Structure 1
Amino acid sequence: MGTPDEAHAVNAVIDRLAGRFPQLQRERIATVVHEAHHELDGNPIRDFVPVLVEHEARERLQATGAQPVRVSDQDAAAAGPMIRAGEPDTETVFNARVTLLNGDLGGGTS
């Protein structure tokens, strides 16, 4: 499962997604998050696990027809330490990290 910090971050993912998908039961969201998290077991690089878990869980929830609601900066700040007012959301961070991992440093073509 990773470190206690990772477990705390995954619990924060559940909190954020529960706020984004208020029409779904929290238990259902937790199940989806834990499934996505356990698929990353054995991966030695744990730095991005919470971001990857949140991205995958959000996609799975949306695939069931659930639609996320926009959360205010105040609600986002209350949801946990990973989201702060004025900071990019996890989707933006995820996409930026995937771009970097794929070798695009943003310098354009040469």
Structure 2
Amino acid sequence: MTAVANEPTLDVAVDVRFTPAGTPLAVRHEGRIWAVAADPVHWFARDAWWDTRSAAAVGSGGLVSIEYWRVQVRLSSNSALRTFTLRRNPPATQWFLEDISDGG
């Protein structure tokens, strides 16, 4: 699957490598390593849990905060920047590529 600029690629599983401080360092997408080339933007959104789950197990905690990172990445020092929006749904550990756009 090849992403086209500004075309959504919802729910594509990716591997994300983080620094010891917890900031994205690189993203593996379609077998290629995309290095983070600028300061990433981090935020959380709330899940509409009532649409996706009827109940949560007691003590499961943290089931409504969807984690996002917007990272500018490139394949090499002279390649064009791409912007990846990454998403992790609670309580999963898998990251998903939500969309790709050119530049920043």
TM-score by shorter chain over 0.5: no
Provide TM-score, normalisation by structure 2. 0.22
Question: Higher strand share goes to which structure?
Answer: 2
Provide TM-score, normalisation by structure 1. 0.22
